Amino acid sequence: MSTLTQANDHDHDHKPTGLKRWFFSTNHKDIGTLYLIFALTMFFVGGSMAMIIRAELFQPGLQFVDPQFYNSMVTVHALIMIFGAVMPAGVGLANWMIPLMIGAPDMALPRMNNMSFWILPFAFALLISTLFMEGGGPAGGWTMYPPLVLQTGAAFPFLILAVHFLGISSIMGAINIIVTVFNMRAPGMTLMKMPLFVWTWVITSFLLVASLPVLAGGVTMLLTDKYFGTSFFNAAGGGDPVLFQHIFWFFGHPEVYILALPAFGIVSQIIPAFARKPLFGYASMVYATASIAILSFFVWAHHMFTVGLPVKGELFFMYATMLIAVPTGVKVFNWMATMWKGSMTFETPMLFSIAFVILFTIGGFSGLMLGITPVDFQYHDTYFVVAHFHYVLLTGAVFALMGAVYYWLPKWTGYMYDEKLGQIHFWLSTITANILFFPQHFLGLAGMPRRIPDYNVQFADFNMISSIGGFAYGISQLLFVYIVIKCVLGGKKAKALSWEGAKGLEWTVPSPAPHHTFETPPKLTKAMLEH
């Protein structure tokens, strides 16, 4: 193409190239891609830390790492997986899909979108660099409880700054989503017509905006306690170490739903598509999501049942926690009813979604058990808890995210992924993840505390099984990378409507989706607004 034609190029699909395209991008699709690549990279960084943890726990005795380094692996693994893998993957999907799903040309605040992504690599460079500092990386757990976290060496201010960056990035991302959804829907796309994925992301964004500033406040108080002589959390100065836990979990519990709600949205898109049947109980799904989000601000102290709360406090938080089972149950039943009398096929996205429903529910069951305060006095801080949150986060959130990638990959790349390999990846992941995490229930009940580098020999067998599952799960994920790269490079051409039963505006644009879409709002027909 000559310079002359380029200057007069009115092709809607022109895009900048190279550095300019990726570093200065304000395009929701490119930024979405950046987020997804970043999340996958962090998934492997955090995953390799999990491999170190499982290698050390493979046998009793200390074989590979020192206890201090082990603790920093536990800490940084959690921070990376939560803030670096699951959250950015969710935001990446939101960036890519929300404008396509609501018929908007782009996100409402494209420059801010660029900034909220580009903060992340710097924040994680800071965080990971702490592992090489004097005194090692942060090692007090991702929950950063004082006074222990105040014993962190040179890494401490870097940890706080990294958390601030992550918070700022997420808040900007959330504001962008809220503004986009409330202002840029195509005419006719009323709130109660929006795809459930969009709904779950709007609600998630409100959770982010409301909870992250609280975390920012908490970690700033840690900073002033360490360097500026305040005593927010120092009992000797009139403060209270437990205050931090209240602040942290006021953020931390909504955070759990920040990770889980987008997964609910994804599964609510995929199951109807492959059951070829409308989502059952759309309105109740929206209300259930909203109730879970609201309740999530009233249950934080169930993470702290053992700190010595007054009995009335413990009762309140127990009841509120158990109540969350109701809307969560509604969602699971709705997914079931969507499948009921459908005409199901089981491509990889559907397989991941079904696995999500079952395994997330198992995590929900252990969650209900953990919510019963007197019994929690036994479960708290054991491997039972580790099993619980990995069921909801790995076989829950991560499985849904992988399902989403398989579901939308044809739309992103223009090619169908290799279905056979996808299914192999699914079965490997599901089997190994269960070998990895199911035995941890037994370990916890038998009395193994979490966050220990070494253990009594009575826990040896299940730890070894768990480690074998862990290594196998880790290796299986390389297959996922191969499948994605293979799909990007080519394959069977994808149609605009890549899946027979899929509904929604994103399937009305060609595959791959052009660089710019919906520059003029689409005219919505009734059929386009079906869920």
Partner 1 sequence: MKSIFQKIIVGLVLLPFTALADWGLNLTRGATTISNEIYDLHMLSLWIVTIIGIVVFGIMFWSIFHHRKSKGVKPATFSHSTTVEVIWTIIPLAIIISLAVPATSLLIKMHDTSEAQITLKATGYQWKWKYDYLDEDLTIYSALDEKSSEASQRDSGINPMEVDNYLLDVDNLIVLPINTKIRILTTANDVIHAWWVPALGWKRDAIPGFINDNWAVIEKPGIYRGQCAEICGKGHGYMPIVVKAVPMDEYKIWVAEMKAEQEAKKNTSGMVLTMEELMTKGETVYKAQCLMCHQANGQGLKGAFPALAGSPMATEPAQRLGHIKQILNGKGIMPAYGEQLSDVEIAAVTTYERNAWGNDTGDIVQAKEVAEARTKK
Name 402's Cβ contacts closer than 8 Å, sequence gap at least 6: 352, 429, 480
Verify whether residue 240 is a known catalytic residue. Answer: no
Residue from the set 16, 121, 147, 188 that interacts with partner 1 by CB under 8 A: 147
435 binds partner 1 (CB under 8 A): no
7 binds partner 1 (CB under 8 A): no
DSSP 308-320: ---HHHHHHHHHH
> With respect to partner 1, which residue has the nearer C-beta, 206 or 305?
305
> With respect to partner 1, which residue has the nearer C-beta, 112 or 445?
445
Q: Which of residues 312-351 bind partner 1 (CB under 8 A)?
A: 314-315, 318-319, 322-323, 325-326, 329-330, 332-333, 336-337, 339-346
23 binds partner 1 (CB under 8 A): no
CB contact at 8 A, 251 and 215: yes
Least spacing, CB of residue 393 vs partner 1, in Å: 19
Verify whether residue 106 is a known catalytic residue. Answer: yes
What is the identity of the amino acid at 437?
F
Q: Which residue, among 433, 432, 440, has the nearest Cα to 459 in the 3D structure?
A: 440
Dihedrals phi, psi of 438, to nearest 5 degrees: -65, -45
Q: Which of 72, 204, 328, 366 is catalytic?
A: 328
139 binds partner 1 (CB under 8 A): yes
CB contact at 8 A, 433 and 395: yes
481 binds partner 1 (CB under 8 A): no
Verify whether residue 476 is a known catalytic residue. Answer: no
Verify whether residue 451 is a known catalytic residue. Answer: no
154 binds partner 1 (CB under 8 A): yes
> With respect to partner 1, which residue has the nearer C-beta, 282 or 415?
282
Dihedrals phi, psi of 415, to nearest 5 degrees: -125, 150
CB contact at 8 A, 188 and 524: yes
CB contact at 8 A, 456 and 398: no
Neighbours of 229 (CB within 10 A): 9
Q: Which of residues 103-132 bind partner 1 (CB under 8 A)?
A: none
Q: What does the per-residue mask of binding to partner 1 show for 30-69, with x meaning CB under 8 A?
A: -------------------------x--xxxxxxxxxxx-
For residue 228, the 8-state DSSP code is S
458 binds partner 1 (CB under 8 A): yes
> With respect to partner 1, which residue has the nearer C-beta, 424 or 472?
472
CB contact at 8 A, 167 and 216: yes
Verify whether residue 314 is a known catalytic residue. Answer: no
Residue from the set 131, 168, 242, 424 that interacts with partner 1 by CB under 8 A: 242
Verify whether residue 331 is a known catalytic residue. Answer: yes
378 binds partner 1 (CB under 8 A): yes
Three-state DSSP class for residue 382: strand
Dihedrals phi, psi of 104, to nearest 5 degrees: -105, 150
Q: Which of residues 160-199 bind partner 1 (CB under 8 A)?
A: none
CA–CA separation, 367 and 37 (whole Å): 31
- Active-site residues, by number, are 77, 106, 142, 169-170, 253, 255, 257, 268, 302-303, 328, 331, 450
